[in-house]
Amino acid sequence: MDILKERIKEDAKVLDGQVVKVDSFLNHQVDIDLLNEMGKEFKERFKDEKIDKILTAEVSGIAIACIVAQYFKVPMVFARKTESKNLDSDKYESEVYSYTKGRTYKVMVSKRYLKKDKNILIIDDFLANGKAVESLIDIVNKGQANLIGVGVAIEKGFQAGGKTLRKNGIKLESLTIIDSIENGQVRFR
């Protein structure tokens, strides 16, 4: 997706050689016009599928997942990472190792919002090693819902997540794929 590539080239910063910081348009300040175009593109890429719900994880998946949900005219549910009085005790849980945070955390979805046989599209901002998406897939499976596919804004193609999901037969749509980062310069596929 060209406008996303251009925006990454203009505004993204590379941290620690491998982490792409996009806090000016996606992860902190959010450019709604850009996200709107991304939502439209995901709708186009999954247009032949019946989708009942969009699933993401807090925090950084929420903005984009909301816009995607608007295009599909379905609800969006985000997995929570912390216990809260707003979260039912009857819930599906999975564990994720985050390499950006350097620790393991839980993701949790109330059983009320993930029903058997519903068609789920997972949306996230980044796909790197695939652990975040795998935990959401685990939750979909625990709820006996159907995984229709996974859509990510930015796939880091030099990390294993995309390859593993495709190998497992999962329909993965990435709006941009970064093939390498050399001397702070991002190279797209």
Residue 139 to residues 5, 70, 76, 178, Cα–Cα distance (Å): 31, 23, 15, 27
Q: How far is the CB of 181 from ligand 5GP (least distance, A)?
A: 9
Asked if residue 125 binds ligand 5GP (CB under 6 A), the reply is: yes
Question: Which residue from 24, 110, 129, 146 is in contact with ligand 5GP, where contact means CB under 6 A?
Answer: 129
Question: Which residue from 3, 19, 147, 177 is in contact with ligand 5GP, where contact means CB under 6 A?
Answer: 19
Q: How far is the CB of 89 from ligand 5GP (least distance, A)?
A: 26
Instruction: Write out the binding residues for ligand 5GP, residues 60-99 only, by CB under 6 A.
Output: 60, 98-99
Question: Which residue from 127, 140, 172, 175 is in contact with ligand 5GP, where contact means CB under 6 A?
Answer: 127
Asked if residue 132 binds ligand 5GP (CB under 6 A), the reply is: yes
What is the C-alpha separation between 46 and 152, in angstroms, rounded? 12
**Number of residues counted as binding ligand 5GP (CB under 6 A):** 20
Residue pair 171/146 in contact by the 8 Å Cβ criterion: no
Can you give the binding site for ligand 5GP, defined by CB under 6 A? 19-22, 27, 60, 98-100, 124-132, 156, 161
